[in-house]
Structures are given as C-alpha cells and as structure tokens.
Structure 1
C-alpha cells in the first residue's frame, strides 16, 4: 500500500472532475454554487433583511439607520465580500460548528468594528430567524441567478443558435428518413434540426414559467418569534415583500415547516433533466449521421483520434456530452426525488444533499460546451445523402399509393407492397417504379403525375419554419 500524504487541493488532486479536469470550462458556476458563493449569498440575505428591518417604524432601535447612505454602507458587506472574509467565517465555524451562526457573528463584528454600531443594533442581525430562512432564501436566489445568467444563455448560444443556422442553411436539402433504422419517407436536413429547436424552445418556455420559491418564516414557518416581539407588524406582508427585493421572481411560500418544501426546485431540476434528455437524443442522432457519413468532421490540427489507429476522427464531443448529461441527469433525478421529502417539520437530509446542487449544473454546462464544439466541426456531405436517396426509390411508394387511393384505384397499398417489399441485396430503382406506373390502368395524366415524384422532391411541407 502506497504511503498516504496530505496534499493540497488543485486541478490535479480534486476528486470531482468538475473541480479538476474540467474546471476551466465550468468555473463560472463557482460564483453561484461553491462554498464561497453560498456564504456570500447568506451574507447578502442577512444584510438585506437587516436593511428592511430599518424601514419598520415599530423597530425603533433601527429607525435612525433608515437612510440611503447607511444602506449603501451595509450593502458593501456583501458587495465587497472576498475570500478572506469567507475564510474568516469558516474559521469561526470551527468553533461554533454551525455555518449560519458563523455568518451572523461575522456581520455583527463587521458592523461593530467598521460602523461602530452598538450591540443593541447588531442583535437585530438574524432577528427572529432560523438557519433555513437564510439557506432556503440564499440557495433559491443562487439558482435563479445561475439559470438566468449562465445556463439559459449558454443553451441558447451553444445549441439553439447553431441549430437554427443549420436549419436555415440546409432547409431544402432532401434526406432519407429512417424509422426503426429502415429507409422511410424523405425529409430535409433542416427540418430534422427544427425538431430539436422546437423541443428545446418549449422546455425553455416551461423553465421560465416555473416559480422560484423560498422559505422565510422562522423556526417552524409561522413567524412565531417575529409576532411575539412585534405583534402589531404585518410580518407576512413584510416577509413576502422582502424576498422580492432580492429578486423579482423570488416568491415566499406562506405555509412551510422549518424548511422550504422544494417542490418548485424539484420541478426546475426535472426541467433541466428533460433538456438534457433532448440533447442526448440530439447527440445520438448526430453521432449516427456521422457514422453514416451524412456529416464529415473538420480536422483539428494536432488532434489525435486513437492511440493506435492514425486515421480515426471520432465524434468525441457528442460522446463526452452524452456521458456528462447522463451524470447530470442521475443527480437531477436524485435531488428532485429527495429534496421534497423531510421527516415531520424537518430533518437534516436536505442540507447535505443541497451542497451538491451545483454539480449537475456543472456537468450540464460542460455538455453544452462540448456539443457546441461538435456542431462547429460538422460539414454536410450532400453527395452521400443524395446517393442514399437515389438508392431508395421504394420510399415514394407511399406517395404513389396515396394518389391511387385518391383516384379510386382498387387496393393500391397491396399493389405497392407487392412491388416494393423486397429483401436481400435487391433494391427498387427508378425504372422499377416507372415500369409499375406504366402497367397501371389509369389515365396518362395521372401516370405523368406519379412519375414526377422522386425521393428528392417527396419531402412534404418545408416552408413552415423560419
């Protein structure tokens, strides 16, 4: 057994690949989901709550602080918050063994030392609150901002924008469709990209419609300590108004236990899981098209596809994305299933689970960037697509039998089935189709109409998307 030594955390020693190998690609999310970020968001919630208390006339010890210059000074506690502040809080936590209490002590000390606030004033930090009022407000706030500022913009720029470009560029390029892996009614390359665009845009609409909720109601959700201290204050209205000052889309739940019920967080995680599932579908389709040589990949100088096969140009970006989205979805599923469940008024399982909430977002962000790289390498191989279409004239049989039905021809489906359902190396050619049409007892103008149908022009309606 090798000797164990104490080593410092860095990109090489991190256990999670998100914090190691892939750190450079996902580090922006540390502004929302790291331990440092969580502490900073907690400080922000505590400070903003204190500022709102100064605006309540009945809270007389704070009335003199209800000034814009005082509020600006207080906000600098979190706007100028840095790593040294976070480390100080972590050091205090070693003594308190309680993360939120360490935050409270940090803010109190800051106020007394930097602003010369009295202890009477600083005792209104964390007034009437429990830890989960801070956590269950700070964490939803971090999720909202991460989704709005990073995840959705990345989804749009990395995936939707290039897909829309492809859809327009290749909207008229006919392509053989495949159902059950077999040749089927033709489509266009552009339309097949529109399928994924529509699916993703629908998910973004659903994502944007989801409420972002928090818990801010004291030890067991009833604002007991607030009400017993200042019964004349409308604390429910105050609390609901307060969380809106943090973010206009943040909504306080009126009826909670000690913790937020997480139902809406679960819905958000499920929505990201569906987005990833759609993107896995996209990756597998493109991977298959590359293997069919419908797409080639641009060569990257110096890149190696195999340690032993020099010719390989692998679709690794789509494979890496698929793998990372699988990891993300496993975590999304666990979090969405676990978080809404808590014994009685609260157990601690949500706390430890929530510490991993940034991980699936990290794997998702990594996947979006991988897909973006993969899409940027795609080169359409129209020659192979055309060759495949020309080798599969049997697919126009649907069109022919449908027109024959229109004309009242007896049993057209059965007639085309007899002609086209072949096995082995036998392929139905253009001549086979035209000879069949010529053999039919139908007017010449109908025969002419049928002969104009080809695998290249039998593509349906393609003008319905922009």
Structure 2
C-alpha cells in the first residue's frame, strides 16, 4: 500500500496560539471526549498501529512453525513479542512515529519497529521473517478487522444494549398506561405508552442481533491475492491453509478470494446495520420529543440542568434527544458513505479505502454519543399519566371504530338494523369532537343486543386499548 504520511513541513500551516495549545479540531475530541474516549482504544491511529504490530508479531510467530529452518522462539520470546502489543503506549507511538519519519511509509515503519524488537530474543537474525510475503494490505485488512470488532463488541454494543434494556424497562413500567394514539398526527385508536415504546425497543433489539452476528473477514494472500511470492519462495507449503489458520487464529473469518485488498463487504454490511439501528433510534428521538411537546412526558429538572433557555427561564428543553438526532444524522452520513464506497476498488487495488477507513472512528463515535444522550434523556423523564388521561377523555370520537366494528359483527350474526355501520358512525364523528354522553346516546339507539350494548356502554377511550399491555410481554 502506498504510504500515508504527514504533510511535509513546507505544506503545514504556520503555528497559531490555538493550534500550539493543542485545541482539538472536532467535537468528538473536544466537547464530547469523555463519552467517546473508550473508542480511542480501538479506532484511533494509535490503535491502528498497535493492531498492525499485533498482526506482524502473530504472523512472525506463525511462520516459525511453517518456514523450514526458522528459529524457534522460547516462551519468554513469545511473551516479549506479544508485550509489544499489550504494552503499546505513548512511548511506543512516539518510537513508531520516529521510524515512520524515516520510512515515509506507515506499514514499513511497523515492520522495522517489530524487527528492531527481535534483538535479544531467539529470533534475532531472523528479521527476514517479519512481513514475509506480505503486502501492506495483508496487515491493514486484519488490523482494521480487529479494531472494528473490538470497538463494536467491547464499546458500542454494550452501550447500545444498555440503552435498549432501559427503554424496554420503561415500556414494561408503562405497559398499562393508556395513551391517545396519533396516526397522521390526528387522534386515533388509543394504545398504551408502554406498547409504543415496546415497538421501538423490539425494532432496536432486532438490529442489535444483526450487529451481534456480524462477521469480521480477513485475508493474507499477497499483492494480488494469488500467493505468488509465497509459492515461489516455498513451493511445498500449503499456503492457503497457512493463511486460513492464521486468520482464524486471530479470531476472524477467512476470505479465500480477494484482490490485493480484502473486499470490505463485511464492513459495508456492518455499517448498514449500525446505520439502521441509528435510524430506528432517530425515530425514538422524534417520538419522545413529540410526547414531551404535548406533555405526555415531564422532564426532571435535575436531569437537564437549570438553564433551558438563555432568555426564557421557564423552559426545560429536550436537549438530549435533539443532540442525539444531530449526532445520528452525522453518524449515518459517514456510515452510508463507508458502506457505499468500500465495496468498490478499481481493478486489483486503489487507495480510496485507506482514506475512507480512517473515518470509521468518527462514524461510530457520533453513534455512541447519540446512544449516551438518549440513555440519559430517558432517565430524565417522568410519565404524565394525568395529561394522557385528559386527552383521552376529550376524544370520545375515537370509539367510532369500536362501535362500527361491533355493528359489523352483529350484522354478520343476523341482528337487524346494523346496516351501513361505517357511514352512520362517520356521520356522528367525522371532524367533530364527541363527548361521553353523546357517544352513549348514539350506542343506546342502535338496537344492539343488551349484552353487547352494555359492553360498549362500559367502554371508554382509556379502556379501548385492546391487547396493548399484553403485547409488551413480547419483549421477553
């Protein structure tokens, strides 16, 4: 892979007071650093170099069991080499950066870095085995797979799962709280708050299962995926088997057919699933924002601070959900472009994926930030059952659906006078507010059997929620 290096000194901007003070350029490394800091361990440039070292060390150790005449490392040698990865720290970053300034090539610098640390081990003098038969992408594709797997499984998934669990808990707690539904923004058949939250939790969990089932693919088959150098160097070795066992040793899935690069299709699949989770979460944000707007949720003052507006002191703004919306949109813009561009490489290799993959951390970071905001936002909500009850009591017209459905069932059963049920209810309710007495009077005049009429007379908007509360149990 061509080198990706820092700009030459002549091309750098002149120093400024802010630049010299180390002020971060972006929000993730500035205002929101505390939330996304765990991702630095996995998706930063330093993490990329650590995983490159990891791949080079493990490949070297793997080759000692494959290449005839290779020196055999002692247990202490293995521990020493693996400590290059486990102990990778700021000093390691600085040493590697100094090497890269000499090589002007990032992966070559990693090769020299590992080779230099063979001194004092049984492998000293076997530096030729470091990066043996590898193109840069053999190292990079495996490093990125390890990085992304770590970020997703150790940081993003636990945070997202905790959020969905909190949402499911809120759904269960409010499973029986009746709420006026609003289809097209208009009063509609009542539901329960818990059932509506359960729908979103169910959708989010499905996406989590897809992310949990992601495959992380890798290859180590040379400059054009043919094992050309391998076979010329050692023709008696079963190189595809060696490559497969090595990739699986790293805990990844072997991709046997590639060009110079691993095709990145697994990344596109994963980023599409993350983006879909983000979109469902965005839907949650807009719904909760709307419920706050109409008073169905009250926001706890302590959870949002004392300042809701710089000029209107009465306000408590739903800022957690608004912040999450914005970060989800930024995340998805990046995830979408990653998914759409990484699957294409001109002929056997171009370098667009190298620059593109350096944005993975930013994409996942904005999603993680949104997840954190939604979790904190939900924790700061109280259910306003009294407000929902008033809305329901003011909209008896929503029982029109129930009345005409009962009339249809009775018509099928042979009860006379049940003709044109929809049209008759429509005449009563269309575009009008109907109160309880008016609805009861209408039902009483329909000529329904006594038991059926009594069932409808007992129905209120607050009790017309069907199996909503029971459906929440589907969350498990």
Q: TM-score, normalised by structure 2?
A: 0.92
Distance in 2, Cα, partners of 1:282 & 1:12: 37
Q: 2:283 aligns with which of 281, 306, 316?
A: 281
Distance 1:279 1:201 in 2: 11
Distance in 2, Cα, partners of 1:169 & 1:9: 50
Residue 440 of structure 2 is matched in structure 1 by: 434
Task: State the alpha-carbon separation in 2 of the partners of residues 78 and 442 from structure 1.
Answer: 79
* CA positional deviation for 1:422: 2.5
Counterpart mapping for 1:262-277 below 5 A:
262-277=264-279
Q: Give CA deviations for 1:19-53 in whole Å, capped at 9, x if unaligned.
A: 11111111110001111111101000100111111
1:210-229: CA deviation from partner (whole Å, max 9, x where unpaired): 32112311111111111111
Alpha-carbon deviation of 1:91? 1.4
Structure 2 residue corresponding to 1:242, chosen from 234, 237, 246: 246
Corresponding residue SS for 1:284: helix
Change (3 A) 1:110 1:9: farther
Q: Please, which runs of 5 or more residues in structure 1 have no aligned partner? A: none
- Give the whole-Å Cα distance in 2 for the aligned partners of 1:89 and 1:208: 34
Question: Is 1:68 aligned to residue 75 of structure 2?
Answer: yes
167, 173, 176: which one aligns with 2:180: 176
Cα separation, 2, equivalents of 1:224 and 1:108:
24
SS at 2:270 equivalent = helix
Unmatched tracts of structure 2, length 5 or more: 1-12, 412-417
Q: CA deviation at 1:315?
A: 0.2
**Alignment deviations for residues 415-441 of structure 1 (CA, whole Å, 9 cap, x no partner):** 111111034xxx201111111011112
- Post-superposition shift, 1:204? 1.3
User: Are residues 1:419 and 2:428 paired?
Assistant: yes
Q: Matches of residues 387-466 of structure 1 in structure 2 within 5 Å?
A: 387-408=390-411, 409-423=418-432, 427-461=433-467, 462-464=469-471, 465=473, 466=476
Q: Residue 414 of structure 2 aligns with which residue?
A: none
Q: 2:258 aligns with which of 256, 259, 262?
A: 256
Quote the Cα distance in structure 2 between the aligned partners of 1:302 and 1:350.
43
Q: Distance in 2 between matches of 1:413 and 1:10?
A: 74
SS in 1 for 2:190: strand
CA positional deviation for 1:10: 8.9
Residues 162/414 of structure 1: CA separation in 2 closer, same or farther (3 Å cut): same
Counterpart for residue 39 of structure 2: 29
Given the alignment of the two structures, is residue 82 of structure 1 paired with residue 79 of structure 2, yes or no? no
Task: For residue 342 of structure 1, give the secondary structure of its aligned residue in structure 2.
Answer: coil
Deviation of the 1:302 alpha carbon: 5.1
379, 385, 389: which is aligned to 1:386?
A: 389
Select 2:54's aligned residue among 44, 49, 55: 44
Measured against aligned partners, the alpha-carbon deviations of 1:347-397 in whole angstroms (never above 9, x if no partner) come to 111111111111011101111111111111101111100000000111111
Partner of residue 150, structure 1: 155
TM-score normalised per structure 1: 0.94
1:4 Cα deviation after fit: 6.0
Q: Are 1:129 and 2:115 counterparts?
A: no
Distance in 2 separating the partners of 1:100 and 1:336: 25
SS in 1 for 2:204: helix
1:103 equivalent in structure 2: 110
Instruction: Write out the 4+ residue segments of structure 1 that deviate beyond 4 Å after TM superposition.
Output: 7-12
Superimposed CA distance per residue, residues 82-105 of structure 1 (whole angstroms, 9 cap, x where no aligned partner): 111111111121221100000000
Rounded to whole Å, the distance in 2 between the matches of 1:21 and 1:209 is 33
The answer to whether 1:206 aligns with 2:210 is yes
Matches within 5 A, 1:306-325: 306-325=309-328
Q: In structure 1, how many angstroms separate the alpha carbons of the residues matched to 2:278 and 2:259?
A: 32
Partner SS state of residue 232, structure 1:
coil
- The residue aligned with 1:139 is 144
**2: CA distance between counterparts of 1:376 and 1:35?**
34
Q: Secondary structure at the match of 1:175?
A: strand
SS in 2 for 1:428: coil
State the Cα distance separating 1:81 from its structure 2 match: 1.7
Q: Distance in 2 between matches of 1:218 and 1:299?
A: 60
SS of the residue 2:382 aligns to? strand
> Pairwise CA RMSD of aligned residues?
1.7
